[in-house]
Each structure stands twice: as C-alpha cells, then as structure tokens.
C-alpha cells in the first residue's frame, strides 16, 4: 500500500493509473475506520483495479460548536485496516495541504440540505461538497463509494456529481450494523454503557415503521409518530428529528409513495446518532404531495 500526503504526488500517481487503463474506486473517509468503512473498501475492491482511500478530518464541515477537535483519530489503526482490506493508495493529507489559506471559492449546496441533519448543521453540506470537489479532482476516480447510513450525504453527492458533471459513478452501499441493529459509526465510541444499550432502539423503531408500511400504512404522520413513540419509550435520548421524505430529492411527503426515506437523529448525552431506512413503494399515479 502506498501512503501519499501530497496533492501533486497523488495527481501524478492517478494520471499514471489512468494512462495504464486502470479503473479507480475511491472511498473518502474521515478515518477512525469501522466495519461500515470496510464494507465500502471491500465493495470498491471487487469493482476496480485500484482502490484509493482518503483519511482526512475535514474542518470545513464542522460547525463552531461541533466535535472537530474531539473527533476520534487513530491513523496507525486506519493504516492497518486499510492494508488488511487491500487498499492500494491511502491519501492522508494535512489540513494545511488541503487548505493552504482561506478559500477563494466554495461549493454551496442549494437543495437537499435544509432538511434532516442539514437543518441543524448550517454549512455542513457546503463543507462536504467543497472537500469532495477537491478530492474528486485529486483522485479522479471512476467510482466513489458512500455509506447509506448518511443518506442525506449520498443525496447531496448525487447532486454534486450530476450538477458539476464529474465523470464518476456514485455507488451507495447499505448500512453495516452491529448484531443488535445499531448502525456502525465512529461516534459510537462516545456512548456510555447505558446509552449503548438503548441505542439499538433507533433501528427497532425504523423496522417497526417498515412493518407498518408493509401492513398498508401510507400516512407519513403516522409513521413519524410511531418512530418517535418507540424511541421515547426505549431511550433517554432527545429526538432531533424523525422525518419521512422522498429519496433522493428529500421532499416532504404526506402520503407515502415511490422511494421513501425514513430518517432519525437523536442526541444522547455524549453523542448524536443518525439512522434511516429506504422503502420502495409503488409510485403515485398523480402527484399527491
Ligand atoms: O462521510 C464522511 O466521512 C465525510 O463527510 C466525507 C465524505 C469523507 C467528506 O469529508
């Protein structure tokens, strides 16, 4: 595995792979890798000649009161996991390499950002879209792999790739879960033992929602209520949101139809967790919402 920390070196290497006719699969991360990231790497490994992993905690996507300084970092562990999963190139730039000075241009996300997590994290997706624009120009991948645990991020990246004509195939990868259903996340390490015990209630609530939809429920309000009540009954977490919207447009729905995202975010004392499910329903014959 080659470890690169300079942008110019990375671009030279990527150009060389392209000249050799090799396909490049890219997994962008902020490190502290877990099985969710490993699933992205494994999928990229199956589908490409070269797998590139980036580990960069992007300051631009953290708000002033968020956990940038506290965000877990362990590069040696990440390097080991990357190697075990067959990564060819690990890109690990310093913040000064990615942002040598104040930005003169920034990407601003205009849709799919003022709902779900975007509502309580103003500027977050601008930071994500800006760093991904840079990373896409640096890595020049054929395919980019993103976890569906952050479904809103996948929807925003879908817009970025389309609107800016990146010649990149977006590959969304299903959420990897612990045995008890909790979605894998770097932030799970913050949970106290009691919070860790309560946290699977998020996925239980989402599964209850899916079962209700299977049983014929089509009211978005009823689904929201069901998810909220389950979480309130089984955790001490404060609910940030429970939303039911179309996917990937993230438009609010009253009646469920088409591809539907049911998403939750909760705040435990020591960590904010998100989770979601995507449901496929028949499309509406006429626009109802
Ligand atoms: O999902 C993440 O870890 C980050 O938002 C990403 C895509 C690596 C951009 O910094």
For residue 231, pLDDT beyond 70: yes
Among 153, 173, 274, which is best to mutate for testing ligand 1, by the most ligand atoms less than 8 A from CB?
153
**Strand arrangement, sheet containing 2-4:** 2-4, 89-91, 50-55, 24-29, 143-147, 169-173
Active-site residue (options: 18, 34, 37, 92): 37
pLDDT over 70, % of the chain: 98
CB of 122 within 8 A of CB of 35? no
Calculate mean pLDDT across residues 39-65: 96
Among 57, 71, 107, 150, which is best to mutate for testing ligand 1, by the most ligand atoms less than 8 A from CB?
150
Residue 285: pLDDT band with limits 50, 70, 90: low
Q: What is the pLDDT of residues 191-222, one digit of tens each?
A: 999 999 999 999 999 999 999 999 999 999 99
CATH number, domain with residue 22 = 3.40.50.620
Helix (H) or strand (E) holding 81: helix 75-84
Strand intervals (E) in the chain: 2-4, 24-29, 50-55, 89-91, 143-147, 169-173, 238-246, 259-267, 272-280
Apex 268 CA angle, 267 and 271, nearest 5: 80
Angle, helices 35-47 vs 75-84, to 10°: value is: 40
The residue whose CA is least distant from atom 5 of ligand 1 is 128
Residue 28 lies in a domain: yes
Task: Respond yes or no: is residue 34 known to be catalytic.
Answer: no
Calculate mean pLDDT across residues 117-121: 88
CB of 52 within 8 A of CB of 141? yes
Rounded to whole angstroms, the Cα distance separating 274 from 162 reads: 26
Residue that wins the pLDDT comparison between 179 and 66: 179
The residue whose CA is least distant from atom 2 of ligand 1 is 29
CB of 91 within 8 A of CB of 52? yes
Whether 134 and 208 share a structural domain:
no
* Centroid of ligand 1 to alpha carbon of 30 (angstroms): 6
Q: Which atom of ligand 1 is nearest to the CA of 29?
A: 8
User: Domain containing 89: what range?
Assistant: 2-173
* Centroid of ligand 1 to alpha carbon of 150 (angstroms): 9
The residue whose CA is least distant from atom 3 of ligand 1 is 29
Among 40, 58, 133, which is best to mutate for testing ligand 1, by the most ligand atoms less than 8 A from CB?
58
Rounded to whole angstroms, the Cα distance separating 57 from 10 reads: 18
Residue 8 lies in a domain: yes
Whether 166 and 240 share a structural domain:
no
pTM over 0.85, yes/no = yes
Whether 37 and 71 share a structural domain:
yes
pLDDT over 90, % of the chain: 90
Whether 167 and 201 share a structural domain:
no
Tally of domains within the chain: 2
Whether 6 and 76 share a structural domain:
yes
Average pLDDT of the chain?
95
For 151-187, letters b (16+ CB in 10 Å) and e give bbbbbbbbbbbeeeebebebbbbebbbbeeebbbbbb
Q: What is the pLDDT of residues 87-104, one digit of tens each?
A: 999 999 999 999 999 999
Length of the chain: 289
For residue 164, pLDDT beyond 70: yes
The residue whose CA is least distant from atom 6 of ligand 1 is 29
What residues does ligand 1 touch, defined as CB less than 6 Å away?
28-30, 58, 61, 128, 131-132, 150, 153
Whether 169 and 59 share a structural domain:
yes
Helix (H, G, I), strand (E, B) or coil at 163: helix
Calculate mean pLDDT across residues 107-130: 94
Q: What is residue 288's predicted lDDT score, i.e. its pLDDT?
A: 47
Q: What is residue 286's predicted lDDT score, i.e. its pLDDT?
A: 53
CA neighbor of 175 nearest in space, from 167, 164, 184, 166 = 184
Rounded to whole angstroms, the Cα distance separating 82 from 52 reads: 10
Q: Which atom of ligand 1 is nearest to the CA of 61?
A: 10
Residue 286 lies in a domain: no
């Amino acid at each position: 595995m080659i470890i690169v920390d300079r942008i110019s070196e990375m671009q030279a290497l990527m150009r060389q792979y392209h000249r050799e006719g090799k396909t490049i699969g890219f997994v962008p991360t902020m490190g502290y890798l877990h099985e969710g990231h490993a699933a992205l790497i494994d999928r990229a490994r199956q589908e490409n000649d070269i797998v590139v992993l980036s580990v960069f905690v992007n300051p631009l996507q953290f708000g002033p009161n968020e956990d940038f300084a506290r965000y877990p970092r362990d590069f040696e562990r990440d390097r080991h996991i990357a190697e075990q999963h067959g990564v060819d190139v690990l890109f690990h730039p310093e913040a000064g390499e990615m942002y040598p000075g104040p930005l003169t241009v920034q990407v601003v996300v205009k849709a799919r950002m003022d709902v779900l997590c975007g509502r309580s994290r103003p500027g977050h997706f601008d930071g994500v879209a800006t760093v991904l624009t840079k990373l896409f120009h640096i890595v020049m991948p054929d395919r980019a792999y993103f976890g569906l645990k952050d479904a809103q991020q996948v929807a925003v990246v879908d817009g970025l790739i389309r609107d800016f004509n990146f010649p990149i195939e977006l590959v969304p990868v299903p959420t990897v879960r612990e045995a008890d259903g909790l979605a894998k996340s770097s932030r799970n390490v913050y949970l106290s033992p009691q919070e860790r015990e309560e946290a699977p209630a998020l996925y239980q609530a989402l599964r209850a929602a899916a079962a209700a939809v299977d049983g014929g429920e089509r009211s978005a309000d009823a689904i929201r209520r069901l998810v909220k009540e389950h979480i309130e009954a089984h955790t001490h977490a404060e609910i940030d949101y429970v939303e039911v919207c179309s996917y990937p447009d993230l438009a609010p729905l009253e009646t469920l139809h088409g591809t539907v995202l049911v998403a939750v975010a909760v705040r435990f004392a020591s960590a904010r967790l998100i989770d979601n499910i995507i449901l496929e329903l028949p499309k509406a014959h006429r626009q109802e919402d």
